[in-house]
Amino acid sequence: MQKYSVFSLIKNAFSNHQNWEVAWKDPTPKSEYDVVIIGGGGHGLATAYYLAKEHNIRNVAIIEKGWIGGGNVGRNTTIIRSNFMYDANARFNEFGMDLWRNLSQELNFNVMFSPRGIINLAHSDAQMNAYARRGNSMRLNGIDAKLLDRDEVKKFIPMADFSDEVRFPIFGGLMQPSAGTARHDAVAWGYARQADDMGVDIIQHCEVTGFDVVNGKIKGIRTSRGDIKAKKVGLCVAGSTNILAEKLNMTLPIETHVLQACVSEPVKPLLDGVVTFGAGHFYISQSDKGEMVMGGDLDGYNSYAQRGNLPTIQHVLTGGLALFPFLSRLKMLRTWGGIMDMSMDGSPIIDKTHIEGLYLNCGWCYGGFKSTPVSGWTFAHTIAQDQVHELNSELRLNRFSTGHLLDEKGLGTKTWIG
C-alpha cells in the first residue's frame, strides 16, 4: 500500500494527482469467510481493522447495504469525549481516548483529531453540585475534569449571553480539556483503507436478507448478492439493529429514533471546543471550515427516516439563541438526520448472543462516534476470543434482566425524552 506522506503528496502533484492508488478495492463476495461483519460504518470498519491487526483474523468481510461511511459515521457532529460518571462507561471511553490520540499515525490517515475541550454549562447551584460530583467521578477514573466558575467560562465563551436578564444564567461549567472533535469521514476511510490492505473484503451495496441458523449456531448469511457462509457474524448496524433482530427472532431493549443536526454558513473562528447548554437540548462546536455545527434533541418518536421535522430544529435552536444570541444573524446551511439505536438505559451493548457465533454491537444512542475505535477494539476481541473483554464486561445484554443498568442520565426507559 502506498504510504501517505508529504513526499507522496508532492510526488503525485507532478502527475496532477491522477495516479493515486485506490484506497480500498471493490471485491465480489467470496462464498465463505471466518468472520462477517454486517454494517460498514465506523464501528464495523474499526472492528474489521482490529480483527486483522490485533487478532490476525484476515478472512473477514464487511457487508454494507449502502456505501461505507454513509450512515451515522457521516452524519454525527464529530464530538469525542469521555466525561462519564459510571466506572464502566468512563473506563471504556477513556481507553477509547488513548486510541484516538494515536489514530492518525496508526491509520496513516489524518483524522484531524483536535482535542480542544468540551464544556457542559451549569445554570443553577444544584447543577454545579451535580457537575462537581461528575467531575470527581471522572478524576477517580483518571480522566481530566475541571470545574469552572462563571468568570472562567466567560474566558472561553465571551460571546455567550452573560447579561442579568437571561432566563438561565450561566453559573459555571464542567470541562474536559482533552475532549474534542475529529473529521468523521476520515475515520471511516482510514479504517477502511487499512482493513482492506490487511485482506478484509469491503462489500458495498449488498443487503442482508436473512441468516442461516442451525441448532442455535450461526452458519452464514443470505444477501442480495448471494449466500455467504461464515463461522462468526457480528452485527454493527446501529439504527437498523431491530430490522436484523427481527430476522433472527430476537427482541432487544432498543428503539430506533431519528436525531437531527445542522450547520450554519461558515464564519471566522470564534468558538474553540464544544459547548453544551445545560438548560435545554443544545450543543455547538465550530468546524475547521468555520461552520457552526449544532445538535440537540431527538425528534421524539420512533423513526427509521434519515430525516427529521422542522419543529425539532426550531426547538433546538431556540435553546441555542438563548445561549448564543449571535446565532440569529447566521444563515443555516443544511440540516440532516440519522437513525439512533436508543438503548433502554442510554449505554451501549457489546456482547455475545444466545446464538453461537453471533455477536451484537448496538445501543449507541446519541454517542456512537466518539466510541468508534474502542467499540471496534472490544468488539473484535469479543468476536475473536468468543468472550467479552474486561472493558465491555458491563456492557452486556443481560444487564437489563439482572438490574445492572448503566443509566448515566437516569432517564428510565423513555428513550425519546433524552
Residues within the interface to another protein (CB under 8 A): 242-243, 246, 251-256, 300-305, 309-311, 344, 400-401, 413-414, 416
Which residues does 273 contact at the CB level (< 8 Å), separation at least 6? Answer: 116, 117, 118, 119, 156, 179, 180, 285
Of 281, 274, 285, 284, the closest CA to residue 299 belongs to 281
Q: How far is the CB of 416 from another protein (least distance, A)?
A: 6
Residue 268 to residues 38, 80, 272, 330, Cα–Cα distance (Å): 41, 23, 11, 12
Nearest to 235 by CA among 389, 397, 77: 397
183 φ/ψ angles, rounded to the nearest 5 degrees: -85, 110
Q: Rounded to whole angstroms, how far apart are CA atoms 336 and 148?
A: 33
**Residue whose C-alpha is closest to residue 218's, from 228, 230, 209, 235:** 230
Closest approach, Cβ 262 to another protein, in A, equals: 17
Minimum separation from the CB atom of position 306 to another protein (A): 10
Comparison of 287 and 413: residue with beta carbon closer to another protein: 413
| E-only strand ranges, 112-243 | 118-122, 146-149, 172-176, 180-181, 201-203, 208-214, 217-223, 226-235
Please report how close the Cβ of residue 236 comes to another protein at its closest, in angstroms.
17
Closer residue to another protein (CB): 51 or 344: 344
* CB nearer another protein, residue 220 or residue 280: 280
Please, which residue, 89 or 303, has the CB nearer to another protein?
303
CA distances from 180 to 30, 109, 269 (A): 40, 18, 16
Distance in Å, CB of 414 to another protein, minimum: 7
Dihedral pair phi/psi, residue 157, rounded to 5°: -130, 70
- If residue 92 lies in a helix (H) or strand (E), which one and from where to where? helix 87-101
Q: What residue type is 416 in one-letter code?
A: W
> Rounded to an integer, what distance in angstroms lies between the CA atom of residue 399 and that of residue 418?
20
CB of 74 to another protein, least distance (A): 20
C-alpha cell of residue 208: 442482508
The bridge status of strand 282-286 relative to strand 291-302 is antiparallel
Q: Of the two residues 70 and 325, which places its CB atom closer to another protein in the complex?
A: 70
The rounded distance, in Å, linking the Cα atoms of 41 and 375 is 12
Shortest distance, position 2 Cβ to another protein, whole Å: 41
CB of 359 closer than 8 Å to CB of 379: yes
Least separation, in Å, of the C-beta of 98 and another protein? 32
Task: Return the H-helix or E-strand segment holding 138.
Answer: helix 125-140
Q: How far is the CB of 251 from another protein (least distance, A)?
A: 4
